[in-house]
């Protein structure tokens, strides 16, 4: 039973770290990346769809993203969705493709984005701590109901703390990597 609790907590912590990494990828740095527009949803034939399901998304240059829709009727919808998003990029539509040219980040914008990274990293730490708390409560319940011995529960709690520390270190590393990428000129 204790191993199931630990395995479940470890799996949930891994998912929290993956979610944070995916979230950090969406933060715009000085370089173009197709993942920047992954969260942009386009209203197409009455349902919201990701941009990458409506056309080819390529990065021909380090500061440009090109979207070539499979259906030209989707061009205007994609353009409007990008304008409404929080990217802060104005799309350029030439009738066949949409080009997104990433401007150089100012020092102030870099600092603002670094603050956003810190906030998201802290949210990731909190998520991992919440998972630890839930697993710890499960271990206590098992101990109180006599399904686990006291020393087994203590060892499981210590192992849970080691796992938590490991995943928090991963979250911190992801944050440091993203911040270094942001501050790179």
Residue 17: its pLDDT value, please? 94
Instruction: Write out pLDDT tens, residues 82-92.
Output: 888 877 788 88
41: left (phi over 0), alpha (psi -120 to 50) or beta: beta
Q: Which of 175, 185, 170, 174 lies closest to 13 in space, CA to CA?
A: 170
CA–CA separation, 76 and 96 (whole Å): 11
Decide if pLDDT at 28 tops 80.
no
Decide: pTM greater than 0.85: no
- Report the chain's C-alpha Rg in angstroms: 22
Provide the 3-class DSSP secondary structure of residue 1: coil
Closest by Cα among 184, 129, 180 to 24? 180
pLDDT bracket for residue 172 (50, 70, 90): very high
- List, for residues 88-112, the tens digit of each pLDDT value: 788 888 888 999 888 787 888 888 8
| Structural domains of the chain ordered from first start | 2-25+106-183 (1.10.132.20), 34-101 (3.30.1360.40)
> For the segment 132-166, what is each residue's pLDDT rounded down to a tens digit?
999 999 999 998 998 888 899 999 999 999 999 99
Spatial CA neighbour of 102 closest among 114, 87, 80, 115: 87
- Cα–Cα distance measured from residue 140 to residue 156, given in angstroms and rounded to the nearest whole number: 10
Write the CB contacts of 50 (distance below 8 Å, at least 6 apart in sequence): 38, 39, 40, 41, 42
Range 69-91 average pLDDT: 85
pLDDT at 185: 60
């Amino acid at each position: 039973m204790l191993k199931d609790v630990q395995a479940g907590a470890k799996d949930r912590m891994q998912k929290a770290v993956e979610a944070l990494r995916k979230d950090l990828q969406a933060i715009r740095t000085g370089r173009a990346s197709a993942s920047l527009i992954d969260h942009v949803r386009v209203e197409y034939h009455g349902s919201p769809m990701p941009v990458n399901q409506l056309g080819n998304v390529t990065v021909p240059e380090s500061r440009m993203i090109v979207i070539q829709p499979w259906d030209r009727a989707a061009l205007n919808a994609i353009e409007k969705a990008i304008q409404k998003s929080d990217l802060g990029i104005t799309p350029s539509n030439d009738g066949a493709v949409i080009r997104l040219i990433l401007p150089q980040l100012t020092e102030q914008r870099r600092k603002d984005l670094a603050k956003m990274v810190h906030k998201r990293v802290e949210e990731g730490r909190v998520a991992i701590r919440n998972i630890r708390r839930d697993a710890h409560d499960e271990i206590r319940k098992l101990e109180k109901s006599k399904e686990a011995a006291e020393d087994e529960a203590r060892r499981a709690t210590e192992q849970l703390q080691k796992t938590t520390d490991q995943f928090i270190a991963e979250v911190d590393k992801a944050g440091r990597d993203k911040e270094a990428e942001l501050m790179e000129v």
